[in-house]
């Protein structure tokens, strides 16, 4: 799995050149003119390339697979139809550029240490945690403790998933400490996520900590971390996009509209059905018609098909894409507090999200005014006969949890956190799940399969090899 750092840097820069829809790569003054000849790069160059890599990993094929397996999106043709039939093999998955990007994030830290730059090191640690968190959430046990020293560990061990989660918390604690330093080197020109704002990176680290604690069912720690997390939509970590094909297109637009129109769509998916049922419900405090139209549009690919809104909605070429956000932070607080039994605090956090949506703010875009209503809820709305209790749950806790779960599922479209939720909610107590139907068969896919390249080269791959229907350890 491991090759030299310089090889990884060159590999990612070449990959970004070929795949980029995240940044105007060749307009970046810090990118060298010949990536194939790179033997070493400066910290600014490395940071720019690593940020591009992280944004790619939040909009890639793996994210589409996760959306299909969460029932949000449907695979209708070619390879993606196979994903909807849960037919995959080790050939369908790859750890490139996942581990190369993580390695570059680690190299940022080494280079920052050499010049005493705590701020940039902290950003590198947050980026490392974002990438490895994706790897372990989707695959379970993965290399981490030995993943970044290919000389000493050419075939790294696979750490237990719970140990990876614990190690990521330590990585993020160290990031927060470094980002709390009184001084560091400015990296404004290289940081197209936060423009060098150290406080925003620190808050993002806290929100990521809260996400990981939620995965592990440590609700008290999730609330504690989220309290210092992203505090407004203005501090969302969003990957910026533009209108230049091959330069800065949103990758969803590039896939849905340019390269593979019709391979995926929303016909037969659960999410639009769920949203339609809510639009037609007796809940007079909520109207999600604007959000529905923001996500979906009829007839883009062919007459009558329910397609991604690539025209004037969530998936235009210049639509920013979420990495980690204020709404997620508040929904973590809402769910965790509800599970801890504090319905008042849970409702307050949910209502903050609703207030933001009522104002039209969503992932750097603005929802239309028509059909946009998110009035503040009261606890009585979740009584057995309440207007926000469509399942007629017997308790306020169960009804409120259901609403929070629905809000998360709706918000996380084309974010792999939706798939994490689907699997996590099978275990979280009290059990509150969405009735997401299977596309086929009677088994739900519970994980990604270890890539064939890793199986072929690393004798430490878990044996017997788990298939896509075997749960990852933390969700068992």
pLDDT tens for each residue of 19-56: 333 333 333 344 334 444 445 789 999 999 999 999 99
Helix (H), strand (E), coil (C) string for 77-134: CHHHHHHHCCCCCHHHCCCCCHHHHHHHHHHHHHHHHHHCCHHHHHHHHHHHHHHHHH
Question: Can you give the pLDDT at residue 39?
Answer: 52
Written as six digits, the tokens of 220 are 């008290």
pLDDT at residue 16 tops 80: no
Q: Are residues 230 and 172 in the same domain?
A: no
Q: What is the CATH number of the domain that holds 31?
A: 1.25.40.390
Q: Would residue 169 count as lying in a domain?
A: yes
Question: Can you give the pLDDT at residue 4?
Answer: 33
Written as six digits, the tokens of 16 are 């970004």
What average pLDDT does the segment 306-334 reach?
98
Calpha distance 118→174 (Å, rounded): 10
Q: Are residues 299 and 430 in the same domain?
A: yes
Q: Would residue 248 count as lying in a domain?
A: no
Q: Are residues 151 and 136 in the same domain?
A: yes
Do 165 and 212 form a contact (C-beta atoms < 8 A)?
Answer: yes
Q: Are residues 180 and 294 in the same domain?
A: no
Q: Are residues 64 and 84 in the same domain?
A: yes
Q: Would residue 448 count as lying in a domain?
A: yes
Q: Is the bond preceding residue 464 a cis peptide, omega within 30 degrees?
A: yes
Question: Can you give the pLDDT at residue 188?
Answer: 86
Calpha distance 389→2 (Å, rounded): 51
Calpha distance 141→465 (Å, rounded): 11
Q: Would residue 251 count as lying in a domain?
A: no
Q: Would residue 32 count as lying in a domain?
A: yes
Side-chain-side CA neighbours of residue 265 (13 Å): 20
Burial of 253 (0-12, 13-18, 19+ CB in 10 A): buried
Q: Are residues 158 and 80 in the same domain?
A: yes
What average pLDDT does the segment 178-202 reach?
93
pLDDT at residue 5 tops 80: no
Q: Would residue 218 count as lying in a domain?
A: no
Calpha distance 457→454 (Å, rounded): 5
pTM for this structure?
0.92
Report the phi/psi class of residue 363: left, alpha or beta, with left for phi > 0 and alpha for psi in -120 to 50: left
What average pLDDT does the segment 386-393 reach?
97
Q: Are residues 81 and 150 in the same domain?
A: yes
Nearest to 469, CA basis, from 450, 452, 454, 448: 448
Do 307 and 265 form a contact (C-beta atoms < 8 A)?
Answer: yes
Calpha distance 167→457 (Å, rounded): 25
Q: Would residue 462 count as lying in a domain?
A: yes
Calpha distance 319→252 (Å, rounded): 9
How big is the CA angle at 417 (ends 416 and 420), to the nearest 5 degrees? 100
Stretch (H or E) spanning 451: none
The count of structural domains within the chain is 2
Q: Are residues 281 and 399 in the same domain?
A: yes
Cα dihedral 284→288→290→292 (10° resolution): -150
| Local confidence band at 183 (pLDDT 50, 70, 90 cut-offs) | confident
Calpha distance 34→372 (Å, rounded): 49
Q: Are residues 107 and 152 in the same domain?
A: yes
Q: Are residues 228 and 153 in the same domain?
A: no
Question: Can you give the pLDDT at residue 1?
Answer: 55
What average pLDDT does the segment 456-468 reach?
97
Question: Which residues span the domain enclosing 46?
Answer: 1-196+441-471
Nearest to 16, CA basis, from 41, 42, 36: 36
What average pLDDT does the segment 162-185 reach?
96
Q: Would residue 262 count as lying in a domain?
A: no
Q: Are residues 306 and 420 in the same domain?
A: yes
pLDDT at residue 112 tops 60: yes
> How far out from the chain centre does Cα 67 lie?
11
| Local confidence band at 268 (pLDDT 50, 70, 90 cut-offs) | very high
Question: Can you give the pLDDT at residue 225?
Answer: 99
DSSP code of residue 157: -
Q: Are residues 41 and 164 in the same domain?
A: yes
Question: Can you give the pLDDT at residue 40?
Answer: 79
Written as six digits, the tokens of 194 are 């936060």
Place of tokens 């799995």: 1
């Amino acid at each position: 799995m491991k090759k030299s750092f310089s090889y990884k840097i060159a590999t990612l820069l070449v990959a970004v050149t070929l795949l980029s829809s995240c940044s105007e790569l060749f307009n970046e003054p810090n990118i060298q003119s010949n990536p194939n000849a790179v033997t070493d790069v400066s910290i600014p160059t490395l940071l720019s390339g690593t940020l591009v890599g992280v944004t790619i990993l939040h909009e890639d094929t793996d994210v589409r697979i996760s959306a299909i397996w969460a029932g949000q999106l449907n695979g209708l043709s070619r390879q993606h139809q196979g994903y909807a039939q849960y037919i995959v093999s080790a050939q369908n998955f790859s750890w490139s550029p996942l581990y190369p990007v993580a390695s570059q994030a680690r190299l940022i830290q080494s280079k920052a240490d050499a010049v005493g730059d705590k701020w940039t090191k902290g950003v590198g640690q947050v980026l490392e945690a974002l990438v490895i968190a994706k790897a372990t959430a989707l695959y379970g046990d993965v290399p981490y403790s030995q993943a970044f020293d290919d000389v000493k560990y050419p075939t790294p061990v696979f750490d237990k998933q719970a140990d990876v989660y614990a190690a990521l918390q330590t990585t993020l604690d160290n990031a927060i400490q470094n980002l709390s330093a009184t001084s560091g080197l400015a990296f404004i020109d290289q940081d197209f996520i936060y423009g060098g704002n150290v406080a925003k990176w620190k808050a993002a680290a806290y929100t990521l900590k809260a996400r990981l604690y939620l995965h592990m069912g440590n609700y008290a720690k999730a609330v504690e971390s989220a309290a210092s997390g992203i505090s407004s939509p203005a501090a969302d970590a969003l990957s910026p996009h533009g209108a230049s094909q091959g330069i800065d297109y949103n990758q969803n637009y590039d896939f849905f509209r340019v390269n593979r129109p019709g391979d995926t769509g929303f016909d037969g998916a659960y999410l639009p059905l769920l949203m339609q049922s809510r639009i037609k419900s007796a809940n007079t405090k909520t109207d999600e018609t604007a959000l529905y139209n923001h996500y979906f549009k009829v007839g883009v690919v062919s007459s009558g098909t329910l397609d991604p809104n690539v025209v004037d909605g969530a998936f235009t070429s210049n639509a920013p894409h979420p990495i980690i956000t204020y709404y997620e932070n508040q929904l973590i607080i809402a769910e965790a507090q509800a599970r801890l039994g504090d319905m008042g605090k849970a409702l307050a956090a949910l209502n903050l999200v609703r207030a933001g949506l009522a104002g039209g703010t969503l992932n750097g875009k603005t929802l239309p005014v028509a059909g946009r209503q998110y009035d503040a809820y009261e606890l009585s709305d979740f009584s057995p006969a309440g207007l926000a209790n469509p399942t007629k749950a017997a308790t306020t806790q169960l009804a409120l949890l259901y609403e929070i779960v629905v809000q998360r599922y709706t918000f996380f479209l084309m974010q792999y956190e939706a798939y994490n939720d689907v699997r996590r909610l099978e275990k979280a107590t009290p059990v509150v799940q969405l009735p997401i139907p299977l596309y086929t068969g009677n088994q739900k896919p519970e994980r990604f399969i270890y890539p064939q390249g890793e199986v072929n080269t690393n004798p430490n791959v878990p044996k017997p090899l788990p298939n896509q229907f075997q749960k990852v350890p933390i969700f068992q």
